[in-house]
């Protein structure tokens, strides 16, 4: 086994890591006459993240988001390494600086990172999104015809509000902590092209105007189908879309419709069955004209069983609570911070309304979609709407793989800079995922990261000649394919570092 020496190298660690990557890319077949007993390991460096995601980063043009990048080498360098660090191990900026030093051979100054974030203003954030959109247009030569839109909330490890950090409805159930609202635009292939940050108390249905203006003004896209879930459904929003001559596919709230339209939805006699008779996954649909719009209603037998099961479990839990001795009506109220202010006066009894349960059963397995698109079949409308999982996948990657929240920054500028960095990491991750899926096989973003973290180089120094050598880690088949797809060579042959 090669012993690890304690002598310092001739170069700082980050220079040695860069030299190792460069040397591996230009290695030759010349023999390496080395006495192994005189070798000492200087450092072990992860290179896969920077080699592969670094190539994607530059292909997207992210290395040029700052104006006059040659005059801002420190900001350009810090942004690149912080984005790579976010992909590799999403932690705080301070911890990222330490992780880059310990595992990647990259030395950054934390104050310099914070100065870079101060330069990540709205103008730079806009350029980042323009580059993401331009890259998507480059992939899909036929143009972008469908855009998915959704919002989520991002909470802070803080309890202090300001003009941006505000308490509001939290999708993370963090109602006592300030948050911001993040809106995301994603192509039908799951590639993010834009985002907006709103104050935490903003109702997501009211974010639509800004999203439509971005599509029309920033991206110059006019002929696009706008797809969103039922949270965006309001008469004002539908009127807005129609006034702007936009095609839309939006989730419908069937129970909020008029009694006349509800009766049409619940009339099962004219549903068109799209599955084989007796199939447990029975699927049928019908189209109804509602206020000069098209309502596509789908019935799914499998979903109906799930709705019934979920309701029965909820009722079982409710009955168990009611049977429990000493249960008060206030005990049945979910606690979102206000339960402690309730006071029970007089005699009150609580019982299950079985009539309402029977009415609820009618809606099991039913889902509605509203559209004004005249050229799509009901099946195509449903297929486009189901594509909303693409934006949900982006949120999953952002929240879990890239850990965009909780946010530890306090000032609006640094909050927006943090979100811009996470968006860049998300774009890199989704583009690489898309290319691997379309050219090889489906590997999750997490699996891709794990594979690239395994691509390492041990840097050794000969004690007499002071020559440095690189010993690559073993290369897995998936790693070889990833490098091939991205247009890079990879070898496990040891090499001299000049």
The sign one gets for the Cα dihedral 223, 244, 373, 253 is positive
The larger pLDDT score, comparing residue 111 to residue 4, is at 111
| Res 162: pLDDT | 55
Using alpha carbons, list the distances in angstroms from residue 287 to 294, 295, 382: 7, 6, 11
Q: Are 184 and 149 in contact (CB under 8 A)?
A: yes
Entry pTM: 0.81
Q: 37-41, 91-95, 106-110, 369-373: which range is least confident on average?
A: 37-41
By C-alpha distance, which of 291, 283, 288, 230 is closest to 263? 288
The larger pLDDT score, comparing residue 269 to residue 22, is at 269
| Res 163: pLDDT | 56
Listed in sequence order, the residues at least 6 apart from 142 whose beta carbon sits closer than 8 Å to its beta carbon are: none
What is the rounded average pLDDT for all residues in the chain?
84
Strand-strand pairing, 283-290 and 272-273: antiparallel
Q: 1 pLDDT band (50/70/90 cuts)? A: very low
High-pLDDT (> 90) share of the chain, % = 46
The residue ranges of every structural domain in the chain are 13-119+442-497, 122-252+369-439, 253-331+349-368
pLDDT surpassing 90 at residue 366: yes
High-pLDDT (> 70) share of the chain, % = 83
Strand-strand pairing, 192-199 and 179-187: antiparallel
pLDDT of 308-325, one tens digit each? 999 999 888 888 877 776
Token look-up 């299950």 returns 352
d(CA 166, CA 156): 10
How many other C-beta atoms lie within 10 A of the C-beta of residue 440?
Answer: 13
Q: 48-57, 131-140, 425-434: which range is least confident on average?
A: 131-140
Strand-strand pairing, 146-155 and 225-228: parallel
Query: Packing angle between helix 93-104 and helix 73-88, nearest 10 degrees?
Result: 90
Instruction: Count Cα atoms within 13 angstroms, Cβ side, for 79.
Output: 31
| Most confidently modeled range among 19-33, 154-168, 412-426 | 412-426
Using alpha carbons, list the distances in angstroms from residue 453 to 91, 294, 416, 458: 16, 49, 28, 14
d(CA 336, CA 439): 47
By C-alpha distance, which of 399, 397, 454 is closest to 431? 397
The dihedrals phi and psi of 165, each to the nearest 5 degrees, come to: -80, 110
Q: 230 pLDDT band (50/70/90 cuts)? A: confident
Q: 211-225, 297-311, 362-376: which range is least confident on average?
A: 211-225
Instruction: Count Cα atoms within 13 angstroms, Cβ side, for 453.
Output: 15
pLDDT of 341-357, one tens digit each? 666 666 667 778 888 99
Q: 28 pLDDT band (50/70/90 cuts)? A: low
By C-alpha distance, which of 217, 296, 250 is closest to 149? 250
User: What string of DSSP letters covers 232-279?
Assistant: G--HHHHHHHHHTT-EEEEEE-GGGS-HHHHHHHH-GGG-EE-S-TT-
pLDDT surpassing 70 at residue 333: no
DSSP β-bridge partners for residue 228:
149, 250
Average pLDDT over residues 318-344: 67
The dihedrals phi and psi of 35, each to the nearest 5 degrees, come to: -90, 110
Longest dimension (CA), the chain: 93
Number of H helices, E strands in the chain: 17, 13
Listed in sequence order, the residues at least 6 apart from 201 whose beta carbon sits closer than 8 Å to its beta carbon are: 166, 167, 168
Q: Write out the CATH class of domain 122-252+369-439.
A: alpha beta
Token digits of residue 402: 């890239």
Q: 234 pLDDT band (50/70/90 cuts)? A: confident
Token look-up 């110059």 returns 220
Average pLDDT over residues 191-211: 85
Instruction: Count Cα atoms within 13 angstroms, Cβ side, for 39.
Output: 17
Element (H, E) at 306: helix 301-323
CA-based radius of gyration for the chain? 28
| Res 161: pLDDT | 57
Q: 11 pLDDT band (50/70/90 cuts)? A: very low
Token digits of residue 314: 């909820």
pLDDT of 378-420, one tens digit each? 999 999 998 888 878 887 777 777 677 666 766 888 889 999 9
Token look-up 């095609």 returns 247
């Amino acid at each position: 086994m090669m012993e690890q020496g304690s002598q310092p190298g001739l170069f700082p660690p980050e220079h040695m890591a860069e030299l190792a990557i460069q040397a591996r890319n230009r290695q030759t077949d010349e023999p390496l006459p080395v006495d192994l007993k005189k070798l000492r390991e200087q450092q072990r460096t992860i290179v896969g993240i920077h080699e592969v995601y670094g190539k994607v980063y530059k292909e997207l043009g992210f290395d040029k988001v700052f104006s006059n990048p040659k005059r801002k080498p420190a900001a350009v360098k810090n942004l690149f390494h912080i984005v790579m660090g976010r992909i590799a191990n999403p932690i705080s900026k301070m911890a990222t600086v330490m992780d880059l030093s310990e595992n990647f051979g990259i030395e950054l100054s934390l104050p310099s990172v914070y100065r870079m974030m101060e330069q990540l203003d709205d103008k730079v954030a806009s350029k980042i999104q323009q580059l993401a959109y331009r890259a998507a247009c480059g992939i899909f030569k036929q143009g972008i015809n469908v855009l998915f839109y959704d919002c989520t909330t991002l909470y802070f490890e803080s309890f202090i509000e300001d003009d941006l950090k505000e308490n509001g409805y939290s999708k993370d159930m963090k109602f006592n902590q300030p948050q911001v609202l993040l809106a995301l635009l994603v192509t039908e292939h799951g590639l993010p092209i834009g985002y907006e940050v709103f104050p935490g108390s903003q109702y997501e249905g009211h974010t639509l105007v800004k999203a439509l203006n971005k599509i029309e003004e920033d991206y110059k896209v006019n002929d696009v189908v706008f797809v969103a879930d039922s949270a965006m459904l309001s008469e004002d929003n539908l009127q807005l879309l129609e006034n702007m001559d936009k095609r839309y596919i939006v989730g419908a709230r069937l129970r909020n419709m008029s009694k006349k339209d509800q009766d049409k939805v619940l009339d099962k006699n004219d549903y068109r069955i799209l599955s084989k008779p007796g199939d447990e996954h029975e699927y049928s649909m019908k189209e109804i004209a509602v206020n000069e719009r098209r309502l596509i209603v789908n019935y799914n037998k499998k979903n109906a069983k799930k709705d019934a099961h979920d309701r029965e479990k909820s009722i079982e839990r409710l009955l168990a609570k009611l049977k429990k001795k000493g249960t008060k009506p206030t005990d049945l109220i979910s606690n979102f911070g206000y339960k402690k202010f309730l006071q029970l006066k007089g005699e009150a009894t609580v019982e299950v309304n079985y009539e309402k349960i029977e009415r609820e059963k009618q809606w099991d397995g039913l889902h509605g979609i509203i559209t004004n698109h005249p050229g799509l079949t009901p099946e195509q409308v449903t297929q486009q709407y189901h594509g909303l999982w693409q934006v949900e996948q982006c949120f999953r990657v952002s929240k879990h793989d890239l850990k965009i929240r909780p946010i530890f920054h306090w000032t609006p500028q640094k909050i927006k800079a943090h979100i811009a960095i996470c968006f860049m990491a998300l774009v890199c991750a989704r583009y690489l995922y898309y290319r691997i899926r379309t050219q090889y096989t489906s590997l999750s973003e997490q699996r891709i990261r794990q594979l690239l973290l395994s691509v390492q180089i041990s840097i050794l120094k000969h004690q007499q000649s002071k020559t440095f050598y690189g010993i690559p880690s073993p290369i897995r088949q998936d790693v070889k394919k990833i490098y091939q797809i991205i247009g890079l060579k990879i070898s496990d042959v040891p090499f001299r570092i000049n």
